[in-house]
């Protein structure tokens, strides 16, 4: 009860600060934006933040049609309960998702966390391997990784979902005839617009190192390094052989990234599918090699291997880096084309509203738009290039 009172007081204090800040900004910009509008905007943003804070995990559970495991006598619940007590956290809820994709992820916040397992994962792994996977997710919960990753998955997932929404909307609007490329063109257009921004937010808040930490600390909990290794190998093998459709902005949640980087063939053109921008996990083989070195307990060998690995990366980067940059440039090139097309639509709409084409006005709009676009793309490009180069090693 005391914790709840303190939490309410903090939120009230934050609300007061937001209202005061909105009032001050409104006074300073009173000639442009009335103070009540500024306050209302801050209040609206505050309500949105509250909504995602409390309901992001529920949105993801609904997204994947997850069903809570209520049987406390279930082996999965007992494993989760035992591992949670070993690390000193409240027992997370266990959810099952009916999916052909063997994978797992954790969601929620602090005492309201949950672990989600697919039934394909349960069928694929033996009991000890499942325990190793649950221990990995338990570590994510204990380390506080899941709260931010859950909110990012929902926010970025909503952005990328617009492409699928536009695809089905175009079909239901009459573009769904046989061999009609319009729905796929529309989907690719919205993916080009939204995927780089969505991937940018994912990479800002999700770091590849957290998987290494979760792997290593989970081994300390269940004490069976070889079982986590075999679980990762089985999941990786199945995901590599089969394609599973998920929202790409959710890929960072899973224990192994299930996305494939296949290109899209559209009107005889080979176009990127933008899944490559959402690679936040280190290579599975790199994770396995680290676990093997931990299992062997050869610290000296580990240091020598890391040194050798760094030297190999430095030599390979000279040959591979241009190829990787070209791959990223291809994605952002089509995104840039999509945003320029948006500029064209803006000028056309403005011309129709004014019922006259004003060259100076169109030039001013274009200059401001392209200036903002160049700044945003330079930031997105630098972040994605750095993060993706890390994950591709």
What are the tens digits of pLDDT across the range 63-98? 999 999 988 889 999 999 999 999 999 999 999 999
Q: What is the pLDDT of residues 120-141, one digit of tens each?
A: 999 999 999 999 999 999 999 9
Distance CA 85, CA 82 (A): 5
> What integer pLDDT is reported at residue 298 of this predicted model?
47
By annotation, the residues acting in catalysis are 137
For the chain, domain boundaries: 2-63, 146-391
What Cα–Cα distance (Å) separates residue 35 from each residue in 18, 19, 148, 321? 13, 10, 32, 51
Higher pLDDT: 186 or 315? It is 186
Distance CA 68, CA 116 (A): 9
Contact of 173 with 116, CB cutoff 8 Å: no
> What integer pLDDT is reported at residue 208 of this predicted model?
86
Higher pLDDT: 82 or 16? It is 82
Greatest mean pLDDT among 24-38, 319-333, 334-348 lies in: 334-348
Distance CA 332, CA 376 (A): 12
> What integer pLDDT is reported at residue 305 of this predicted model?
56
Distance CA 375, CA 187 (A): 25
> What integer pLDDT is reported at residue 319 of this predicted model?
46
pTM: 0.81
Closest CA to 256 of 275, 277, 238, 274: 238
Q: Within its chain, how far is the Cα of 230 from the centroid?
A: 26
């Amino acid at each position: 009860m005391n914790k709840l009172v303190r939490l309410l007081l903090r939120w009230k204090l934050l609300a007061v600060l937001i209202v005061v800040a909105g009032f001050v900004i409104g006074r300073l910009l009173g000639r442009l934006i009335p103070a009540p509008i500024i306050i209302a905007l801050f209040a609206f943003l505050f309500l949105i933040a509250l909504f995602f804070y409390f309901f992001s995990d529920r949105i993801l559970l609904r997204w994947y049609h997850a069903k809570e495991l209520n049987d406390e006598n279930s082996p999965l619940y007992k494993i989760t309960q035992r591992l949670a007590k070993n690390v000193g956290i409240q027992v997370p809820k266990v959810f099952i998702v009916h999916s052909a994709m063997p994978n797992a992820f954790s969601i929620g916040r602090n005492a309201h966390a949950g672990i989600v397992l697919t039934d394909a994962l349960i069928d694929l792994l033996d009991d000890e391997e499942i325990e190793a996977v649950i221990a990995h997710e338990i570590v994510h919960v204990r380390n506080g990784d899941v709260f931010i990753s859950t909110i990012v998955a929902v926010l970025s997932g909503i952005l990328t979902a617009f492409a699928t929404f536009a695809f089905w909307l175009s079909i239901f609007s009459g573009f769904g005839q046989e061999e009609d490329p319009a729905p796929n063109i529309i989907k690719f257009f919205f993916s080009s617009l939204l995927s780089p921004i969505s991937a940018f937010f994912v990479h800002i808040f999700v770091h590849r190192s957290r998987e290494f930490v979760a792997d290593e600390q989970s081994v300390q909990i269940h004490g069976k390094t070889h079982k986590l290794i075999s679980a990762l190998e089985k999941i990786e093998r199945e995901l590599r052989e089969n394609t599973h459709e998920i929202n790409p902005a959710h890929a960072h949640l899973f224990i192994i990234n299930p996305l494939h980087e296949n290109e899209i063939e559209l009107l005889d053109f080979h176009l990127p599918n933008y899944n490559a921008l959402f690679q936040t996990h280190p290579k599975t083989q790199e994770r396995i090699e680290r676990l093997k070195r931990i299992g062997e307990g050869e610290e000296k060998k580990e240091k020598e291997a890391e040194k050798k690995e760094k030297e190999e990366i430095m030599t390979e980067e000279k040959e591979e880096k241009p190829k990787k940059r070209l791959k990223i440039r291809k994605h952002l090139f089509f995104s840039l084309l999509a945003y320029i097309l948006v500029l064209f639509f803006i000028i056309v709409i403005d011309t129709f509203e004014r019922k006259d084409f004003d060259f100076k006005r169109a030039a001013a709009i274009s200059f401001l738009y392209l200036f903002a676009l160049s700044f945003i793309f330079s930031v997105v490009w630098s972040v994605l290039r750095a993060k993706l180069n890390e994950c591709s090693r």
